[in-house]
């Protein structure tokens, strides 16, 4: 239970609507501390959910100075929703810390990595536009199509075949051409702490897709940003927004088993935080894998709601790279302890985290594209 505190959050007034949420953490006995992958990787009290929320609260009510050292814990979060799953109150730590980031950015005390992300946002989105222009040359793409595909900046920056595989797969499974969206959902701005520009980016995206019948989103982080965080701001997409796995799982009968050497060994599915705990999508990716493999996929010991984070989200690789690396290594160590093999995920950030550390990791899009006969 939280203890009431009559002091207003004068220093960071934008956090006033989150005051009760902050207090529930500040006056809590820290029962969720073991659920935070960041504080597990870097065991410091200030990095537990309690510590991060407390620092934001104390800065807001003028108990501590608004300084970089007190601001930094707000960025020690991947937004994985793990603490919420272990909280009796399902306290919104993720949303509150993202709000705190915005307030602290306005005070000029954000970590350098967050500041750079905001400054280079235009550069990041230019890569997405270039990728969309390349995809527009595919025969499956038409500007007039009712189904739109949003690849996402992380996939576009990877410069691999996944975006084209996704576009061709959505078109084939849907039985009609698709269009490609070249507007970023704004997730980097959300994670960095530029709430104003994040909202503007969301409005821009809403305008682009307003005449579409549906929006299929490739990246789990983008899908969660649209359906959770933009929705909280009252920015909704008129067209229904579905993740790639949700769309493809509706067309299981059109998929055939794949014949790959690596698929004959262990193939273990990693639940992306934003797709699983963020959107509650657990069965669709597993059903797709089962169809492609001809058997149920292998599982991590910690899976579904209790899955460990890969360390790739929430801007953590930029603000705390060593901690992010440790989290990825811990997840892969769990994979090896369960028998190793291939790791499959449905998140560009997780895939990159695993592949950077030498893991045999495959994107689910690649598998579905093979099962659909487009790769």
For 313, counting Cβ atoms within 10 Å of its Cβ (0-12 exposed, 13-18 middle, 19+ buried), the class is: buried
Alpha-carbon radius of gyration of the chain: 21
Per cent of the chain over pLDDT 90 is 73
User: What is the signed CA dihedral for 248, 249, 250, 251, rounded to 10 degrees?
Assistant: 60
Per-residue pLDDT tens over the stretch 279-295: 999 999 999 999 999 99
319 has a pLDDT exceeding 90: yes
Residue 194 has what DSSP assignment?
-
124-131 contacts: CB < 8 A, separation 24 or more? 124/153, 124/157, 124/184, 124/188, 125/153, 125/183, 125/184, 127/153, 127/156, 127/157, 128/152, 128/153, 128/156, 128/182, 128/183, 128/184, 129/182, 130/156, 131/155, 131/156, 131/159, 131/163, 131/182
Check residue 75 and give its pLDDT. Answer: 93
Residue range 98-123: mean pLDDT, rounded: 93
| pLDDT band at 141; cut points 50, 70, 90 | very high
> What are the domain boundaries of the chain?
13-110, 118-249, 252-371
DSSP state of 165: H
Mean pLDDT of 248-271: 95
The predicted pLDDT at position 2 comes to 43
How many angstroms separate the Cα of 29 from the Cα of each of 20, 32, 180, 204, 243? Answer: 16, 9, 48, 42, 37
**pLDDT at residue 170 tops 60:** yes
Contact 135, 151 (CB under 8 A): yes
Confidence of residue 14 (pLDDT cuts 50, 70, 90): confident
- At residue 144, the pLDDT reads 93
The CATH T-level fold of domain 118-249 is Rossmann fold (3.40.50)
Confidence tier at 29 by pLDDT (50, 70, 90)? low
Residue with tokens 């990791």: 361
Report whether pLDDT(3) > 80: no
Sheet holding 298-299, edge to edge: 298-299, 267-269, 342-345, 361-363
- 4 pLDDT tier (thresholds 50, 70, 90): low
User: What is the reported pLDDT for 5?
Assistant: 62
Candidate from 4-8, 47-51, 58-62, 212-216 with smallest mean pLDDT: 4-8
Give the angle subtended at the CA of 195 by the CAs of 126 and 37, to the nearest 5°: 90
Is the pLDDT reported for residue 1 higher than 80? no
Q: Please state the pTM of the whole predicted model.
A: 0.90
- 82 CB-near residues (< 8 Å, 6+ apart): 35, 36, 37, 273, 277, 309
Sort residue 373 into left (φ over 0), alpha (ψ -120 to 50) or beta. left
Cα(354)–Cα(45) distance, rounded to whole angstroms?
27
Cα–Cα nearest to 222, from 196, 249, 259, 189: 189
Which residue in the block uniquely carries the two structure tokens 């495959």? 362
Q: Does domain 252-371 have CATH number 3.40.50?
A: yes
Q: Taking 90 as the threshold, does the pLDDT of residue 238 lie above it?
A: no
Q: Give the mean model confidence (pLDDT) for residues 183-196.
A: 95
Range from 12-21, 211-220, 261-270 carrying the lowest mean pLDDT:
12-21
Q: Tell me which residue of 185, 181, 174, 173 sits closest to 150, measured CA to CA.
A: 181
CB atoms near residue 356 (< 10 Å) = 13
Confidence of residue 139 (pLDDT cuts 50, 70, 90): very high
Percent of the chain past pLDDT 70, that is, above it, reads: 97
The mean pLDDT of the chain is: 91
Asked whether the domain spanning 252-371 has the same topology as the one spanning 118-249, the reply is yes
- Which of 63-72, 141-150, 173-182 is the least confident region? 63-72
pLDDT tens figures, 288-314: 999 999 999 999 999 999 999 999 999
Going by pLDDT thresholds of 50, 70 and 90, the confidence category of residue 22 is: confident
């Amino acid at each position: 239970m939280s203890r009431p505190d009559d002091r207003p959050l004068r220093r960071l007034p934008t956090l006033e609507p989150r005051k009760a949420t902050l207090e529930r953490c500040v006056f809590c006995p820290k029962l969720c501390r073991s659920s935070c992958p960041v504080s597990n990787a870097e065991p410091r009290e200030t990095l537990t959910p309690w510590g991060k929320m407390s620092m934001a609260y104390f800065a807001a009510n003028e108990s501590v100075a608004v300084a970089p050292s007190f601001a930094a814990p707000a960025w020690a979060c991947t937004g994985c929703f793990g603490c919420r799953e272990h909280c009796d109150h399902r306290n919104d730590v993720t949303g509150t810390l993202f709000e705190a980031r915005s307030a602290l950015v306005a005070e000029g005390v954000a970590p350098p990595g967050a500041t750079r992300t905001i400054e280079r946002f235009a550069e990041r989105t230019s890569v997405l536009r270039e990728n969309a222009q390349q995809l527009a040359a595919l025969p499956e793409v038409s500007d007039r199509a009712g189904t739109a595909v949003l690849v996402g900046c992380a996939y576009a920056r990877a410069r691999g075949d996944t975006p084209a595989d996704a576009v061709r797969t959505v078109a084939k499974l849907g039985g009609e051409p698709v269009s490609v969206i070249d507007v970023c959902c704004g997730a980097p701005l959300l994670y960095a702490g530029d709430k104003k520009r994040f909202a503007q980016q969301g409005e821009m995206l809403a305008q682009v897709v307003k005449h579409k019948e549906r929006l299929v989103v490739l990246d789990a982080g983008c899908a969660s940003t649209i359906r959770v965080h933009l929705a909280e701001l009252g920015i909704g997409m008129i067209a229904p927004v579905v993740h790639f796995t949700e769309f493809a799982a509706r067309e299981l009968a059109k998929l055939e088993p794949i014949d790959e050497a690596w698929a004959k060994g262990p193939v273990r599915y990693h639940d992306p935080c934003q797709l699983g705990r963020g959107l509650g999508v657990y069965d669709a990716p597993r059903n797709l894998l089962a169809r492609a493999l001809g058997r149920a996929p292998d599982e991590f010991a910690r899976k579904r709601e209790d899955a460990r984070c890969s360390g790739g989200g929430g801007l953590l690789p930029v603000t705390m790279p060593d901690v992010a690396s440790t989290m990825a290594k811990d997840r892969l160590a769990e994979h090896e302890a369960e028998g190793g093999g291939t790791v499959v995920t449905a998140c560009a950030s997780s895939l990159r985290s695993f592949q950077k550390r030498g893991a045999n990791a495959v994107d689910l899009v690649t598998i579905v594209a093979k099962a659909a006969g487009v790769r």
